Structure 1
Amino acid sequence: MDFNIVAPMAVTEAELVASNIAEEDHPVWDAGATYAKGALVISTASHRIYESIVDGNTGADPTTDDGSAWLEVGVTNRWRAFDQRRSNVALRADLITYSVVPSQDCDAIALFGLTAGSVRIEVWDGATSIYDETFVMVDKGNVVSAYTWFFGGVIYARQKVLGGFPGYIGHRIDISIEARGAVAQVGHIVLGRNHLLGRVLNLPRVQFVSHSRKGYDDFGNEILVKRGSTRKVDLSLLVPTHQAPRIMDIVAEIDGLATAFYVSGAAPSYGLEGLGFVDDHSQPIDVAGESVFPLIIKTLK
């Protein structure tokens, strides 16, 4: 199986042309208003939420404040799908829609932290639809017996990675995340160029990493504090040695960015799919023809 990384495109106001999530989490900051301590406002310029940390807060722009009047507490609901975090979800009853016009060629899309019965991806060239696929998000991998088939309930996949669609510059990509009768959610959306890095060698390792902590109360009783978990993916890739500069350039390009990764081919993914960042990559060069490149990726919560 081949290992792929999606180099993400930044999604700004220039790319995000429409969404059915209104940016109205809180009142928009007003320079003439006076805010009490604890008051929440938003800025439609920065797409952030701010909390007043003083009483009588007047005239202090939260987007330029030095921290003496305002505290940034998060991203507005509309923009949470593009904030490089999976756990900070965008949500809306029944249906979430985004329309993105890419500023670079995008042949891959990945959606994480989903709560959805289906995901639809459409690509438009002007008024002409050139791609339209709907993906039912039922996860059949949880059916392991006749009992679970009939009585196990319906489990929905939390992520979807799609490559090979025509998301070229100037095309409009419509994303629909549907959860009829419930609250649709998405944690992060990656749009970008797909890069095949190399062939996965045998025995890749996926490690569960708990961020929960154990503490103690005043009487010495144990207290467990749940803080979520991530995964550490440790694998080795077989790459033609002459492609080493290409691999180094790709890794440098995605450094510090929330990046989608997945495996392609006939074999199952075995959990080698997610949203994360490259933590370590070394390149021992074998001039004979093919080199083995170790790669460590840590997922995001």
Structure 2
Amino acid sequence: MSLRVVKPLTIVPAMLLSTDVPESDYAPYSAATTYELGARCIVVSDHAVYESLVAGNVGSTPATSPAKWVRVSATNRWKLFDLVNSSRTVRAASLFYEIKPGAAVNALAVLNLSGATSIRIRVTDPVYGLVYDRSTTLISAPAFASWYDWFYADRVSDPQHVALDLPSFPAATIRVDLTGDSSLGVGTLLLGQAKAIAETRYGSRVGIRDYSRKESNEWGDVDLVQRAFARVCSLPAIVPHASKWRTAQLLDSLRATPTLWIAVDDDSLLTVFGWYRDYEILISYPTFSELSLEIEGLT
């Protein structure tokens, strides 16, 4: 079982060829408009939403006026590229993105999905034509389903999908089509090169870091407020002695960097999008070393 990492490719506007997700969260910024406190607008050139910090705000460009404007988020069209996994690009029933990365990529992931029922990924090269076309159903049967559950219980929508077999054509365009219900949304769409850095061993531990509020008053009443959580994962792995220095160099370069960590292919629980808190290489055997990784996912 190879432990793979995918460092996301930064998607810039020139790479996005087409999409059916509108960029109409708010009205575009106008220098002639007077914005009141809390009013919002979008700056299309930045693909960002800004909020006014003062009343009577006129003639102050949002991107260059931090005393009068604050950046709230990417626009709906660009939220899936901002690497903030908790914010989603939403569009009811279906959406598509067509991207020309301008580099060879072999991995694609859509994360923090909501309401998705299927995905189709196509890779088209200008010389060789359509070189990859795969559709996948994202609806799963209930866990531990009995025959009754199989036919009548609610189906569960997979929260993510990872494809690690894209053909590497540097000039190709990649099209992603998602279908779903009225709540269809995508937290992150990332492209990159999947690189094996070690061999995963049995004994991985997976859990969450919960940011929900749990408070008790003097009478013992408990106030529970559900908030975001982050997936945490402890991964044991082994690295051949000949590769330990390259593995350490790669991990050093990924510090404080949102990265997709894939401990086992086709295992959503052991696929985490986040950052590593620390790693340790123990040189314990004549031919290989032990690697331990502590990974924390993005909320």
Would you say same fold, with TM above 0.5? yes
Mapping 1:261-272, distance limit 5 Å:
261-264=261-264, 269=267, 271-272=269-270
Q: Is the 8 A contact 1:205 1:233 kept in 2?
A: yes
TM-score of the superposed pair, with normalisation by structure 2: 0.92
Give the match's secondary structure for 1:8. coil
Q: Is the 8 A contact 2:80 2:186 kept in 1?
A: yes
Partner of 2:132: 131
Partners of 1:164 and 1:213 in 2: CA distance: 41
Partner of 1:39: 39
Partner of 1:17: 17
Q: Is the 8 A contact 1:177 1:185 kept in 2?
A: no
TM-score of the superposed pair, with normalisation by structure 1: 0.92
Q: Is the 8 A contact 1:8 1:257 kept in 2?
A: no
Q: Are residues 282 and 195 of structure 1, via their aligned partners in 2, closer, same or farther at CA, if it must alter by over 3 Å?
A: same
Q: State, as a whole percentage, how many aligned pairs show the same letter.
A: 28
- Which shows bigger deviation, 124-133 or 291-300? 124-133
Amino acid at match of 1:69: K
**1:286 Cα deviation after fit:** 4.6
Give the match's secondary structure for 1:246. helix
**1:228 Cα deviation after fit:** 2.1
Aligned residues: 297
Q: Is the 8 A contact 1:3 1:199 kept in 2?
A: yes
1:241 and 2:244 aligned = no
**1:93 Cα deviation after fit:** 1.4
**1:254 Cα deviation after fit:** 2.7
Amino acid at match of 1:2: S
Q: Are residues 274 and 206 of structure 1, via their aligned partners in 2, closer, same or farther at CA, if it must alter by over 3 Å?
A: same
**1:42 Cα deviation after fit:** 0.6
Partner of 1:297: 295
Q: Are residues 75 and 219 of structure 1, via their aligned partners in 2, closer, same or farther at CA, if it must alter by over 3 Å?
A: farther
Q: Is the 8 A contact 1:197 1:239 kept in 2?
A: yes
Partner of 1:109: 108
Amino acid at match of 1:245: W
**1:142 Cα deviation after fit:** 2.3
Give the match's secondary structure for 1:35. coil
Partner of 2:48: 48
Partners of 1:219 and 1:43 in 2: CA distance: 50
Partners of 2:31 and 2:62 in 1: CA distance: 10
Give the match's secondary structure for 1:110. strand
Q: Are residues 59 and 167 of structure 1, via their aligned partners in 2, closer, same or farther at CA, if it must alter by over 3 Å?
A: farther
Partners of 2:264 and 2:219 in 1: CA distance: 53
Partners of 2:37 and 2:217 in 1: CA distance: 31
Amino acid at match of 1:291: S
Q: Are residues 29 and 229 of structure 1, via their aligned partners in 2, closer, same or farther at CA, if it must alter by over 3 Å?
A: same
**1:263 Cα deviation after fit:** 3.4
**1:110 Cα deviation after fit:** 0.9
**1:183 Cα deviation after fit:** 3.2
Partners of 1:251 and 1:154 in 2: CA distance: 38
**1:208 Cα deviation after fit:** 2.4
Structure 2: stretches of 5+ with no match in the other structure: none
1:152 and 2:150 aligned = no
Partners of 2:172 and 2:20 in 1: CA distance: 19
Partner of 2:77: 78
Q: Is the 8 A contact 2:125 2:169 kept in 1?
A: no
Q: Is the 8 A contact 2:200 2:236 kept in 1?
A: yes
Q: Are residues 248 and 136 of structure 1, via their aligned partners in 2, closer, same or farther at CA, if it must alter by over 3 Å?
A: same
**1:282 Cα deviation after fit:** 1.5
C-alpha RMSD over aligned residues: 2.1
Partner of 1:93: 92
Q: Is the 8 A contact 1:53 1:69 kept in 2?
A: yes
Q: Is the 8 A contact 2:18 2:99 kept in 1?
A: yes
Partners of 2:4 and 2:15 in 1: CA distance: 24
**1:182 Cα deviation after fit:** 2.2
**1:176 Cα deviation after fit:** 0.7
1:258 and 2:293 aligned = no
**1:38 Cα deviation after fit:** 1.9
Amino acid at match of 1:273: T
Q: Are residues 217 and 47 of structure 1, via their aligned partners in 2, closer, same or farther at CA, if it must alter by over 3 Å?
A: farther
Give the match's secondary structure for 1:78. helix
Q: Is the 8 A contact 1:119 1:175 kept in 2?
A: yes
